[in-house]
């Protein structure tokens, strides 16, 4: 689900898919395999796609290394996709454009983009992607909704933004079961600590972000043939970003790559069953503090 505008971004990790259930034909890339070869396999599948999602867990450096390898492999085929980031809000596009033509390094870019101040993990993990975009002249698209707007929706509901309801409302047909599953996933990601009354507004905020990102991708596809999207894997869930883009731009060819963590001792086959992307890339997990304890403290505060 992305950065922390709801409550805690690091633990909001929904599964990735375009439609509910695993695809009939799915490529599973093994943990600790040949990453360069795996990236080439992904790049080969990307050729027919207009949008490829590289769904990450934000604080896992293995995921960012894999994204960089995939982008390098795509570039090696001669393709020149735009690079879209969930981590950059749509109102930052001018700052992003200026960064690409500047000589700024990661430290200057962090200040220019207010990266750490907006709650994202270390920019150094993402910097190789931005350097590739700069070196190859790739457009970089800032996509996400203003975090202040997302927070207000998650607190007060979409109705609080009367003038923006039509632009931010989900474009999907009604499906109470889908919405119930999304709400349940948000609650589970928040350690079952949220009051039930909060969930409808938080689901609306999640949809509003996905609709905003989808609109930005559709706009980019008017100018370029292909977009690679750096995104939290939660946005790829059923009813998420791919579905919203299909509603805005029917027939868009979309490829979902989902990076799944396999902890020491876990059975990769069981982990793979959790994933629903068209390509699953199994990676090492990272150690994290007790995020639920942190959330309890935030809620008490």
What does the DSSP 8-state code read for residue 278? S
Do 251 and 106 contact (CB within 8 A), yes or no?
no
Q: Which strands, in side-by-side order, build the sheet including 227-232?
A: 27-29, 279-284, 254-262, 51-56, 227-232, 82-89, 140-144
Give the pLDDT score at 289: 87
- Backbone CA torsion sign across 59, 20, 225, 170: negative
Confidence class for position 54, pLDDT limits 50, 70, 90: very high
- Give the residue from 67, 182, 252, 82 showing the smallest Cα distance to 244: 252
Q: What is the pTM of this model?
A: 0.90
Q: What angle do CA 109, 112, 114 make, to 5 degrees?
A: 100
Residue 79 · residue 87 · CB < 8 Å? no
Number of CB atoms found within 10 A of residue 44's CB: 13
Q: Which two tokens stand for residue 32?
A: 């600790």
Strand partners for 97: none
Tens digits of per-residue pLDDT, 243-293? 999 999 999 999 999 999 998 878 878 777 777 799 999 999 999 888 888
Q: Are 113 and 92 in contact (CB under 8 A)?
A: yes
Residue 131 Cα distances to 40, 101, 212, angstroms = 20, 11, 25
Residue with tokens 């079961």: 177
Q: Tokens representing 23?
A: 């695809």
Top pLDDT among 276 and 30 is at 30
CA distances from residue 220 to 9, 52, 62 in whole angstroms, order as listed: 26, 13, 28
Q: Please answer whether residues 256 and 242 qualify as being in contact, where contact means their C-beta atoms are separated by less than 8 angstroms.
A: yes
C-alpha angle 148-259-50 in degrees, rounded to nearest 5? 75
Question: Using one digit for the tens of pLDDT, what is the confidence trace for 181-190?
Answer: 999 999 998 9
Q: Do β-strands 82-89 and 140-144 pair in parallel, antiparallel, or remain unpaired?
A: parallel
Looking up tokens 């981590």 gives 87
Token digits for 248? 């805005």
pLDDT for residue 22: 45
Give first-to-last CA distance, the chain, whole Å: 23
Q: What angle do CA 165, 87, 298 make, to 5 degrees?
A: 80
Condensed to tens digits (0 to 9), the pLDDT of residues 81-132 reads 999 999 999 999 999 999 999 999 999 999 999 999 999 999 999 999 999 9
């Amino acid at each position: 689900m992305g950065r922390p505008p709801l409550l805690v971004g690091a633990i909001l990790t929904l599964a990735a898919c375009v439609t509910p259930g695993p695809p009939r034909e799915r490529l599973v890339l093994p943990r600790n395999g040949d990453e360069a070869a795996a990236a080439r396999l992904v790049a080969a599948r990307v050729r027919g796609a207009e949008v490829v999602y590289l769904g990450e867990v934000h604080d896992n450096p293995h995921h960012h290394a894999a994204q960089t390898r995939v982008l390098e492999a795509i570039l090696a085929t001669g393709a020149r996709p735009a690079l879209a980031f969930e981590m950059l809000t749509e109102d930052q596009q001018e700052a992003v454009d200026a960064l690409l033509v500047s000589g700024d390094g990661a430290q200057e870019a962090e200040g220019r983009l207010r990266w750490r101040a907006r709650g994202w993990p270390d920019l150094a993990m993402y910097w190789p992607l931005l350097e590739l975009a700069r070196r190859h002249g790739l457009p970089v698209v800032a996509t996400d909704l203003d975090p202040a707007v997302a927070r207000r929706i998650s607190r007060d509901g979409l109705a609080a933004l009367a003038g923006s309801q039509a632009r931010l409302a989900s474009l999907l047909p009604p499906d109470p079961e889908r919405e119930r599953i999304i709400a349940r996933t948000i609650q589970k990601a928040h350690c079952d600590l949220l009051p039930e009354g909060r969930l409808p507004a938080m689901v609306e905020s999640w949809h509003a972000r996905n609709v905003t990102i989808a609109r930005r991708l559709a706009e980019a596809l008017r100018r370029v043939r292909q977009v690679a999207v750096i995104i939290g894997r939660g946005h790829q869930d059923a009813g998420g970003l791919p579905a919203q883009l299909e509603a805005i731009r029917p027939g868009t060819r979309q490829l979902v790559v989902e990076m799944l963590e396999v902890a020491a001792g876990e059975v990769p086959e069981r982990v793979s069953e959790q994933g629903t992307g068209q390509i699953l890339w199994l990676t090492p997990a990272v150690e994290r503090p007790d995020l639920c304890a942190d959330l309890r403290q935030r809620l008490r505060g």
